Amino acid sequence: MELLDGKGLANQLKAELAEKVKALLAAGGRAPHLAAVLVGDNPASLSYVRNKVRSCEQSGFRSTLIQKDASVTEAELIEIIKGLNNDPEIDGFIVQLPLPRHINADNITLAIDPKKDVDGFHPVNFGRMAQGLSAYLPATPFGIMKMLERYNISTSGKHCVVLGRSNIVGTPISILMSRRGEPGNATVTLCHSRTKNLEEYTQKADILIVALGIPNFIKPEMIKEGVVIIDVGINRVEDASRKRGYRLVGDVDFENVASRCSYITPVPGGVGPMTVAALLLNTMESYQGKIYSGAS
């Protein structure tokens, strides 16, 4: 069993970005600039945004954090987004999820200029991705693809089983894994809450990508010996022995499953850090103007 060290790889990617930024500045250019909008005081959202700001610092990026009270209206938030869309100093921005319930996240996503949508959530970016055109890829799937690429894990002709069909992880990673390319060229099965006899699928997976949000869901008897497991779950479970009162666990019962895998991502330190690094890669692409430069 080999651990997929997302934290180490993310640090490496951020160091590579920092080198690029150094060269840009030396040539008289400016640094890439990412903005984040944070609404309310959800502790998980706060921690994610802090990770992103800190990662910008590590990569030499400029970052701007816009914080709004949970009482902000959808219309006010859309005005903020319009301002960011039209701000020439900002290469890309994100609106941190989850949002308070009175705000419709789809309306927010639709208000973002696809050219600045470095989270890759806008339907224009999603559609471009699905057709194999250049696009901002959603950060988690992009981070997973980078991890498979850097670890030279072959995916061509493999059976990849994805658990979870969200717009930001399960659905896009199933598209990326099945499309032409390396990583890619996999045969993909997308399972979800209505799937019957789930184990019949998980047991056949050469590559298992789990994005359910259920702590320790995958047990050893559900998998095939030698499988590659990508655990996207980031669940807070109570733990009185920790300073914070909780610890992070994945969707995979790591303790009992890991020894049966050829590769597995840990939680924390697996997919999470790669998600943040991928966001910075998208911001650099926006800075460089590559995605929307030509016909495709």
What residues line the site for ligand BQF (CB under 6 A)?
A: 48, 51, 96-97, 234, 267-269, 272-273, 275-276
Nearer to ligand BQF, 97 or 130 (CB): 97
CA distance 84 to 97: 17
Whole-number Å distance between alpha carbons of 291 and 170: 23
Nearest-angstrom CA–CA distance, 151 and 9: 9
| Chain residue whose CB lies nearest ligand BQF | 272
Give residues with Cβ within 8 angstroms of 228, minimum separation 6.
153, 206, 207, 208, 261, 262, 263, 264
Question: 85 is written with which tokens?
Answer: 């869309």
Cβ(91)–Cβ(48) below 8 Å: no
Residue closer to ligand BQF (CB basis): 158 or 236? 236
Minimum distance from CB of 76 to ligand BQF (Å)? 22
CA–CA dist 277, 46 (Å, integer) = 17
Give 178 or 283: the residue with its C-beta nearer to ligand BQF. 283
Distance CA 1, CA 148 (A): 15
Nearer to ligand BQF, 181 or 269 (CB): 269
Nearer to ligand BQF, 97 or 258 (CB): 97
Helix (H, G, I), strand (E, B) or coil at 228: strand
Which H/E stretch holds residue 19? helix 6-26
**Could you tell me the smallest distance in angstroms from the CB atom of residue 110 to ligand BQF?**
19
What is the rounded CA–CA span in Å between residue 264 and residue 253? 11
Q: How far is the CB of 52 from ligand BQF (least distance, A)?
A: 7
d(CA 243, CA 74): 36
Q: How far is the CB of 142 from ligand BQF (least distance, A)?
A: 12
Of 139, 134, 33, residue with least CA distance to 92: 33
Please choose, from the candidates 18, 95, 30, the residue with its C-alpha nearest in 3D space to the C-alpha of residue 60: 18
Cα gap 29→222, rounded to integer Å: 52
Burial of 189 (0-12, 13-18, 19+ CB in 10 A): middle
Distance in Å, CB of 184 to ligand BQF, minimum: 23
At residue 95, what is the residue type?
A: V
Catalytic residue positions, numbered: 52, 96, 119
Instruction: Closer to ligand BQF by CB, 140 or 286: give it.
Output: 140
- For residue 167, the minimal CB distance to ligand BQF (Å) is 12
